[in-house]
Structure 1
Amino acid sequence: MNNRQPNRSLLGKLVTIAGLSLALMSGALQAGGMSAKAAAHAKAGGPEMVDVIVTYRDMPDQAESDRAAGLGGKTYRAFGRLPMRAMRIPEHALEALAKGKGVDFVAIDDAVEANTWNARLAANFPDGLSVNKEFAGEGVVVAVIDSGVWNHDDTTNSSFQYDFLNGQFPAPGYLNNGSLSVGSNKSARSDNFGHGTHVGGIIYGSARGTQGAQTLGIAQNSELLAMQVLDGQGRGVSSDVIAALDWLLQFGSAYGVKVVNMSLGKAVESEAALDPLVQAVEAVWDAGFVVVASAGNYGRDGHFTITSPGISRKIITVGSLTDNGTGAIFADDYVSTYSSRGPTLFDHVLKPDLLAPGNRVVAAIPEAGKLRSDMPERVMPCNTRKCSDDYLEISGTSMSAAVVSGAVARMLSKDPSLSPATVKARLMRSARKIVGDPTVTGAGVLDIDAAMNDTGVVTGEALSPLMALGTSSSGGSVVLVENTGALWGDSQWSAGYLWSDGYLWSDGYLWSDGYLWSDGYLWSDGYLWSDGYLWSDGYLWSDGYLWSDGYLWSDSYLWSDSYLWSDSVENVDPLFDTQGQGLILHDD
């Protein structure tokens, strides 16, 4: 075991962007308790109203509401369990709002959008002689936070749907004896976009419409709780997603929810600890729910493209595998080009956690869903007399996350006592290992049967490890990763078991000179953040205010040891010597 600290003078030489340190991006995007977007609005200082999410150290009270009103603001969402408020407030009052007593951080109420994707063999679906085929999600409810789940033939056994769009919070009522009236105040089943129905079909589709295994869900005997946060265009705002998570903290257990699927994401503009959406998903995780999120579909734009909330170290973040449909021959499978890559943008966490099939997946789609009309060439007609809805073949990490959520439902059906950390650890250790950059492949490809057979237990957390650069004994640079054996509380979870035999780090593939950090390669002028290139329709980075006016790269944010590689990266394993010395992975 090697505990060398990162060589920050080396980092300063290696990591530059047009003459500016990448350290600018960590810490620089928040100033005075505000995200970069919020700070840009504060700098403008005009009368324009902006929507923000304010996080507090403790639950805010009426006095805070009065203070916000005095600043010309209005609260449009309050939360029952999460210390946050969603407010509309003038630009000129943002600085005063951020300086209020007990305020931790002010962020724009960001846009979120769906991360839109037959590969049962690739995921080693328990079939044939496997004892695990008996466990198909019985007794498990999966909450699907998405665009809703339509009454398709394949999704008729879904429990309930609740609508959180536009500030709604449909809390269930109570019976005369004081017990929760499960199912009361539910919303009508709807999905004008179609994404949530497709995700739901992957998780628990009955295949009634096709009468074949092609569209059978991973956990076909589980149930769904549809939580609608995305509109007919597949878009929504963070505060509505947070409201759905807050609802789960209050009522999820009464509904039997054990798994939360989030096949959606938003732009990352701060460390995970400051991101309100990440704080909300981690509160749900800490409450005992297994949260599965898609990694994002920005892999073509290189590394650091994992979306929020997938940047959380706690939850399970899933990338996409393209299966070439050659049955049990897996050598021709590969990571989907669109699958977002790690490490995470600010905290440099090794993500994604694992891969799952996500390319050209066929599942249910509403007859009138927008996705269906947008891609008529990918529609597969329903082939029974009674079915009026159809199926759609689409690709994306959204589909990969749904496959993993279905796998988790099967694991919990077999053993309901599993903690979220143990579920995550078993998924990662049992994954089928593949050669490649671990910030692309994660711990490998989902192996459902192996995960259900794993018996390891994590007594604490299963945090995804931080990454850093350091100096080898020969004086060269070396890649470091937190010792997962120590981090997770037992050597059985060390890197050599999670990422297998060390070959993933060999041959200079990951961190060889000039590959990831060299000047101009990743962050060359306009490559990653060029207009319309990464976030194609400008929706997430609209109006250019995030990167405008030199704010992000201003001279006041120069290199600082704590910005790029956190001082907390102490207990580390050396992985690869970038000077050509080869693999030096240790598991002790």
Structure 2
Amino acid sequence: MSKPKLNKRSLLASSLGLALFATGAALYLPGQPELKSFIVQGGDLAAAKAAVRSVGGEITHQLGIINSVGARISLAQAEALKDFEGLRVYADHSAKSSAIEYYDYDVNDGTIPDAHYIQQIGADVLHQEGIDGRGVTVAVLDTGFWRYSPVFDYNLNGQYRIKGTYDSTVPDGWYNEITYETNGHGTHVSGIIASNVRSSYSGDAHGVAPNVDLVEVKAFDANGQGSYTDIIKGLDWIVSHKDQYDIDVLNLSFSAPPHSHYWDDPVNQAVMAAWKAGIVVVASAGNTGPDPMTIGVPGNTPYVITVGATTDNSTLNDPSDDRLTTFSSAGPTHEGFVKPDLVAPGGHIMATTPHWYNLATDHQDARFAAEHNLFVMSGTSQSAAVVSGIVALIKQVDPNLKPDDVKCRLMSSSKPAVGSDGKLAYSVFQQGAGLVDAYKAVHSSAKGCANRGLDVKKDLDGTQHFGGPANQNEDGDYYVMGLDGYLWSDGYLWSDGYLWSDGYLWSDGYLWSDGYLWSDGYLWSDGYLWSDGSTETAAINQWVGQE
């Protein structure tokens, strides 16, 4: 198997300019230039607005979080904006949710099964200790959620817990309870994080953090597709309302292909702004693995907690055959960062999704216990939701913990898969620090071990950007500088299970410099149009087969 090339090059830091991003076509009339959607970024929001208006463009979104506007303009107008000093122009791409195929659960006897991931990560023991997410607020940016459902509207104690809702796909952001959620992905993800449904057998709640408060933001349509402008608009609203709603955690279960360095991507810029504001951001790795360098946006952002997926092979009580899923995206990123940061259960995950939602009608074999609206999905969307729930448990115990230290506790307590010889069963670029352990992470006291050598403020203001410790040798194998013996070769072994042992952390990030020229692949210049205006959207992660 040929390996993608990594490229590290020098970059002169410059002040934030103006950028354009283009998605689909607007209304086209014969004899008139076709209009397309772009993102225009300037030194400030006023400059971006003035530039678009000066060429006769229409402003569709105000994206103050990244000093940008969404605009409908022609390609000629986009070219004209490139001549403005300090302006940058990008195509308004789109993203997908990270969901996979269904799994046939034949349970129709009126009972509610256990959600096996709760026991697998140790959350059931934490719940018994009173650590259940109370006092913590999780924001979910997705397709919406099942509004006016007792599963979400109330916590385990019967207290109302929906702090806020917002729809970034409509001009005024007004939440419409009738059309707010029709896909089901956002509901499924929210259920993994927060469901108050209890098993008929163990009595354990289905939600990792069943007493959290929720803020739900819709940025994706009924098909799980969303534009960059709508995603950034939703992120802007979340950061702007962080203090009003006490938002602690943000779950991002979607993915888009990288089109630039992480710091030049407008969604990543908004995500970094959320991290800088003190929100712990959890992102899915994506479902385009197992090949290397398949981590999507925003999971390729070095600061955030990027999560890959594992499966128990449908043997709930036998951890010996647990393994990485074949679809879980792998690193390193194009800038050399080790991703995912860790892995979590993401195979055949059961959670609430009404059977009239699109995913449930399209995949009826994944529906079961009809009276309880349970549904099974696989994907890194689900594994990210598991980790978002764990973050809520950590924040309940230590509410003043900074995002970097939450990430430190998660990674330092994770367990990498090892073979019988004690060597890693999977590369660090596939499993990161290893399988998450909620109990150990919550009771950890670790600090200062994540995102060392990085500076999100300098990244955002453009004065410094960073590369990771990954490299590629002359044979094309990937390795982590400072760690001996961890080459990633062509072999993918998916059939066997592995032990998950104590973890380790790798070396620090370093400044992006001339010292690491890896290849001539993936050369992204500083001033560019992301596309010629063709439609390319972000979306909830693609549907994959159950594992």
TM-score, scaled relative to structure 2: 0.73
Q: Which residue of 2 aligns with 1:324?
A: 313
Paired residues of 2:299 and 2:306 also in contact (CA < 8 A): yes
CA contact under 8 A between 1:35 and 1:269: conserved in structure 2?
no
Match of 1:398 among 357, 378, 381: 381
1:101 and 2:97 matched = no
Are the structure 2 counterparts of residues 164 and 511 from structure 1 closer, same or farther at C-alpha, using a change threshold of 3 Å?
A: same
The one-letter amino acid paired with 2:117 is R
Per the alignment, residue 71 of structure 1 pairs with 55
> Do residues 289 (structure 1) and 279 (structure 2) align?
yes
Q: Which residue of 1 aligns with 2:152?
A: 155
Match of 1:365 in 2: 353
1:199 — aligned with what?
189
Corresponding residue to 1:135 among 131, 134, 147: 131
Residue 455, structure 1, aligned to residue 452, structure 2: no
Q: Report matched runs for 1:25-424 at 5 Å.
A: 47-56=33-42, 58-61=43-46, 64-103=48-87, 105-116=88-99, 118-120=115-117, 123-128=120-125, 133-150=129-146, 151-157=148-154, 158-170=161-173, 187-188=176-177, 190-207=180-197, 213=203, 216-300=206-290, 302-327=291-316, 329-344=318-333, 346-383=334-371, 390-424=373-407
How far apart, CA to CA, are the structure 1 residues paired with 2:388 and 2:258? Answer: 23
State whether residues 368 and 375 of structure 2, in contact with CA within 8 Å, keep that contact through their aligned partners in structure 1: yes
Deviation, structure 1 residue 60: 2.8
Matches of 1:369 and 1:161 in 2, distance apart?
22
Question: Structure 1 residue 127: deviation in Å?
Answer: 3.4
1:562-581 deviation per Cα after TM superposition (whole angstroms, max 9, x unaligned)? 86699xxxxxxxxxxxxxxx
User: Would the alpha carbon gap of residues 131 and 47 (structure 1) be closer, same or farther in structure 2, given more than 3 Å must change?
Assistant: closer
In 1, the alpha carbon distance for the partners of 2:150 and 2:3 equals: 54
Task: Note if contact 1:122-1:323 (Cα within 8 Å) is conserved in structure 2.
Answer: no
Q: Which runs of 5+ in 2 are unaligned?
A: 12-16, 24-31, 101-114, 155-160, 418-424, 455-466, 493-515, 524-547
Counterpart CA distance in 2 for 1:77 and 1:481 is: 41
How far off its partner does 1:411 sit?
0.4
Runs of 4+ in 1 over 4 A off after TM superposition: 14-17, 21-27, 32-38, 208-215, 476-480, 559-566
Distance 1:24 1:290, change over 3 A: closer
Greater gyration radius: 1
| Amino acid in structure 2 at the alignment position of 1:52 | F
Cα 1:50–1:422 shift into 2, 3 Å: same
195-204 or 131-140: which moved more? 131-140
**Pairwise CA distance, 1:72:** 3.2
Query: Quick check: 2:250–2:388 contact (8 Å CA) kept in 1?
Result: yes
Match of 1:511 in 2: 488
Q: Deviations over 1:63-105 (max 9, x none)?
A: 64343233232111112343111111111122221232332x3
> What is the alpha-carbon distance in structure 1 between the residues aligned to residue 339 and residue 388 of structure 2?
17
The alpha carbon displacement at 1:427 in A equals 0.6
Q: Secondary structure at the match of 1:139?
A: coil
**Is the contact between residue 21 and residue 40 of structure 2 (CA under 8 Å) also seen in structure 1?**
no
Please tell me the residue identity of whatever aligns with 2:124.
D
> Once the two structures are aligned, what percentage of the paired residues are identical?
31
Indicate yes or no: 2:416 matched with 1:433.
yes
Tell me: CA distance 1:247–1:563, structure 2 relative to 1, closer, same or farther (3 Å). farther
> What are the superposed Cα offsets for residues 387-437 of structure 1, whole Å, 9 maximum, x if unpaired?
xx5110111110000000000000001110111000111111100121211
Tell whether the 8 Å contact from 1:348 to 1:565 is kept in structure 2 after alignment: no
Deviations 1:159-208 (CA, angstroms, capped at 9, x unpaired): 145343434353xxxxxxxxxxxxxx655373100111111110010115
Residues 168, 217 of structure 2: 8 Å contact kept: no
| 1:467 partner amino acid | A
Deviations 1:130-183 (A, max 9, x none): 69732110101100000111133321224145343434353xxxxxxxxxxxxx
Determine the structure 2 residue equivalent to 1:492: none
CA distance in 1 between counterparts of 2:35 and 2:128 reads 55
Give the letter for the 1:237 counterpart. S
Q: Distance in 2 between matches of 1:320 and 1:460?
A: 21
Structure 1 window deviating more from structure 2 (277-286 vs 264-273): it is 264-273
**Match of 1:373, as an amino acid?**
T
| 1:268 CA drift (Å) | 1.2
In structure 2, the residue corresponding to 1:127 is in which secondary structure? helix
Secondary structure of 2:183's match? coil
For the residue of structure 1 that corresponds to 2:321, the secondary structure is coil
Separation in 1, partners of 2:351, 2:59:
39
Tell me the distance in 1 between the aligned counterparts of 2:314 and 2:339. Answer: 26
* CA distance in 2: counterparts of 1:99 and 1:561, whole angstroms: 32
Q: Matches of 2:404 and 2:478 in 1, distance apart?
A: 26
CA distance in 2, matches of 1:417, 1:169: 34
Summarize deviations over 1:308-361 as a string: whole Å, max 9, x none.
0011000011011011244454231111111111112x3232111110001111
Deviation at 1:261, TM superposition (A): 0.3
CA contact (8 A) 1:26 1:564 kept: no
After superposition, the C-alpha distances for 1:507-550 in whole angstroms (9 at most, x for unaligned) are xxx334x669xxxxxxxxxxxxxxxxxxxxxxxxxxxxxxxxxx
How far apart in 2 are the matches of 1:391 and 1:215?
13
Unaligned 5+ residue runs, structure 1?
Answer: 1-13, 39-45, 171-184, 384-388, 484-494, 496-501, 517-558, 567-588
Structure 2 distance, partners of 1:88, 1:358, is: 38
